[in-house]
Structure 1
Amino acid sequence: MKPTQPLPPAGQAEVRIVAATPEVARMIAEALRSRFAATEQRSYPAGGEGATRLHLTVDTTHTAEPPRSWLVTSRSSGSDRLQADEI
Structure 2
Amino acid sequence: MDQEPLPSEGFAEVRIVAATPDTARRVAEVLRRCFASAEQRSYPAGTGGGTRLHLTIDTAQAAGPARSWLSTSESSPEGPAHTDEV
Class of the TM-score when normalised by the shorter of the 2 chains:
0.5 to 0.7
| TM-score where L is the length of structure 1 | 0.67
Q: CA RMSD in A?
A: 1.4
Q: Deviations over 1:52-74 (max 9, x none)?
A: 00011000000259xxxxxxxxx
Instruction: Give me the whole-angstrom Cα distance separating, in 2, the residues matched to 1:32 and 1:16.
Output: 11
Instruction: List 4+ stretches of structure 1 deviating above 4 A.
Output: none
Instruction: Give me the whole-angstrom Cα distance separating, in 1, the residues matched to 2:63 and 2:24.
Output: 19
Query: Which blocks of at least 5 consecutive residues in structure 1 are unaligned?
Result: 66-87
Instruction: Give me the whole-angstrom Cα distance separating, in 2, the residues matched to 1:30 and 1:64.
Output: 13
Query: Which blocks of at least 5 consecutive residues in structure 2 are unaligned?
Result: 65-86
Q: Deviations over 1:6-57 (max 9, x none)?
A: 10000000111100000110011001000000011111111223x0000110
Between Structure 1 and Structure 2, how many residues are aligned?
A: 63
| TM-score where L is the length of structure 2 | 0.68
Identity of aligned residues (%): 63
Q: Which has the larger radius of gyration?
A: 1
